[in-house]
C-alpha cells in the first residue's frame, strides 16, 4: 500500500535508519489505514525476549496483594516491561495450571506469591527454567529463586510488645492458616515478645482464622463465648482485624476501651476503620520495587546468585489500642 520495500517499512517503524519524509508519510498512512500493530510474538522469537513478566498471587482481592501488585506493575512500566497477572484463589491445582500457562506465554521472569506449601511447586518452577522471585513466602526445595519479604517474626514481636507496654497482660493472637509460613512467623514473634516479658501463652490464647474478614469476625465471636476474655488482640493480618472490629461493634464491645486490637500489613483501609487500626506496616513499595529490581538483574544477566531481601516492618499506632481500663490515666 505504501509502495515501498519491506526494509523501508521496518526502518520507519523501528526508527533504525533515516527515511525520506515522503516515504515515511506513506508508510504511516498505510499503518493507519490497515490498523497495523507490530507482532509481539514475532519480535519475541527474533529477540528471544517478550519483555513480559508474570505475577501469580493467591488472592488479588486481598488489599495487601493488590498494593504489592500496584507497586510491581508501576516499576515494570518504568522499565518498559508488561505484567501478566494470575490469581490462584489459594488453590494449588489452579496455581500449577497458571504456571504452565505463563510458561507458554514465554514470559521473561516470574514473581510468585505461593499458595501454601505445595510439593509440586518446586518441580514446576524447575521446569520453567526462568528467573523467579518469591514474595512473602519461601518455598522448600527452591534454592535458585530470589526472596523478598518482611521480617514477619519481628513484626509480630513489635505488635505484641506495644500491647505489653500499654499494660495488657492477656494478649490473644488470631493467627492465619497453619500451612502459611508468614502466619507461623508472626505467631512466633507474638510468643517471643510474651516470653521476654515473662508472660505465659496458653494453647487457648491462639485462635486460627483464614486471613479474611469473615475469619476474623468468626474468631472474635469464638472468644466472646469464653468466660475469661482477653483485654487485647494481636491479629495476624488487617483483613481479619477489620472483621474482628466489626464483631466487637456488633457485640457492644468498645475498642479500645474494653478491647485493644492490633493488625498486620497496614493496608490502605486500616487508617479508615472505626476506630483507625493500629497495625504493623509492611514496606509494600519497597517490596514491589525490590522484587522487580531483583528479577530484572537476573533477566539481564548482571547477577547469577540468588539473593534474600528481608525488609523491616514498622508499627503504626492509631486509635484501636490503648491501656486496659484498670491502668488508664496512671
pLDDT in tens, 237-296: 999 999 999 999 999 999 999 999 999 999 999 999 999 999 999 999 999 999 999 999
- For 72-88, what is the mean pLDDT? 95
Query: What is the per-residue pLDDT across 104-152, written as a single tens digit (0 to 9) for each?
Result: 888 999 999 998 666 678 778 878 889 999 999 888 888 889 999 999 9
Q: Average pLDDT of the chain?
A: 91
Distance of CA 5 to the CA centre of its chain: 50
pLDDT at 80 over 70: yes
pLDDT digits (tens, 9 = 90+) for 50-69: 899 999 999 888 999 999 99
Domains, in order of start, for the chain: 6-38 (no CATH), 48-151+283-312 (3.40.50.2300), 152-282+315-327 (3.40.50.2300)
Query: CA separation (Å) from 260 to 3, 55, 171, 218?
Result: 76, 36, 9, 17
Q: What is the pLDDT of residue 57?
A: 95
- Work out the angle between the directed axes of helices 284-299 and 63-78 (0-180°, nearest 10): 40
Note the pLDDT of residue 50.
86
pTM for the full predicted model: 0.85
Query: 137: burial class by Cβ within 10 Å (0-12, 13-18, 19+)?
Result: buried
Chain segment 159-174, per-residue pLDDT in tens? 999 999 999 999 999 9
pLDDT band per the 50, 70, 90 thresholds, residue 79: very high
What three-state secondary structure class fits 298?
helix
Q: Is the pLDDT of residue 41 over 70?
A: no
Grid cell locating 191:
510468643
pLDDT above 90: percentage of residues in the chain? 73
Distance CA 322, CA 232 (A): 9
What three-state secondary structure class fits 36?
A: coil
User: What was the pLDDT predicted at 330?
Assistant: 46
With b for 16 or more beta-carbon neighbours within 10 A and e for fewer, the 169-194 pattern comes to ebbbbbbbbeebbbbbbbbebbbbbb
The confidence score (pLDDT) of residue 179 equals 86
Residue 174's DSSP bridge partners are: 207, 235
Amino acid at each position: 500500500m505504501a509502495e515501498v520495500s519491506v526494509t523501508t517499512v521496518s526502518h520507519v517503524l523501528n526508527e533504525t535508519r533515516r527515511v525520506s519524509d515522503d516515504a515515511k508519510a506513506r508508510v504511516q498512512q498505510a499503518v493507519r489505514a490497515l490498523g497495523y500493530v507490530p507482532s509481539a510474538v514475532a519480535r519475541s522469537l527474533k529477540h528471544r525476549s517478550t519483555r513480559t513478566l508474570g505475577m501469580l498471587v493467591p488472592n488479588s482481592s486481598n488489599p495487601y496483594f493488590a498494593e504489592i501488585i500496584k507497586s510491581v506493575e508501576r516499576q515494570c512500566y518504568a522499565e518498559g516491561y508488561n505484567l501478566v497477572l494470575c490469581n490462584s484463589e489459594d488453590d494449588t491445582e489452579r496455581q500449577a495450571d497458571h504456571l504452565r500457562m505463563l510458561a507458554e506465554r514465554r514470559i521473561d521472569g516470574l514473581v510468585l506469591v505461593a499458595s501454601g506449601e505445595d510439593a509440586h511447586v518446586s518441580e514446576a518452577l524447575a521446569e520453567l527454567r526462568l528467573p523467579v522471585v518469591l514474595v512473602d513466602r519461601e518455598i522448600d526445595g527452591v534454592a535458585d529463586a530470589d526472596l523478598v519479604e518482611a521480617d514477619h517474626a519481628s513484626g509480630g514481636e513489635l505488635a505484641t510488645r506495644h500491647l505489653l507496654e500499654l499494660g495488657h497482660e492477656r494478649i490473644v493472637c488470631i493467627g492465619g492458616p497453619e500451612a502459611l509460613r508468614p502466619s507461623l512467623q508472626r505467631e512466633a514473634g507474638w510468643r517471643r515478645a510474651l516470653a521476654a516479658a515473662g508472660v505465659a501463652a496458653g494453647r487457648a490464647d491462639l485462635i486460627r482464622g483464614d486471613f479474611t474478614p469473615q475469619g476474623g469476625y468468626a474468631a472474635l465471636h469464638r472468644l466472646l463465648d469464653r468466660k475469661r476474655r482477653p483485654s487485647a488482640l494481636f491479629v495476624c493480618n488487617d483483613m481479619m482485624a477489620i472483621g474482628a472490629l466489626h464483631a466487637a461493634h456488633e457485640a457492644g464491645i468498645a475498642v479500645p476501651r474494653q478491647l485493644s486490637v492490633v493488625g498486620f500489613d497496614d493496608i490502605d483501609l486500616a487508617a479508615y476503620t472505626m476506630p483507625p487500626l493500629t497495625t504493623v506496616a509492611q514496606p509494600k513499595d519497597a517490596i514491589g520495587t525490590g522484587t522487580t529490581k531483583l528479577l530484572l538483574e537476573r533477566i539481564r544477566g548482571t547477577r547469577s546468585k540468588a539473593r534474600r531481601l528481608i525488609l523491616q516492618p514498622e508499627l503504626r499506632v492509631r486509635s484501636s489500642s490503648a491501656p486496659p481500663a484498670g491502668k488508664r490515666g496512671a
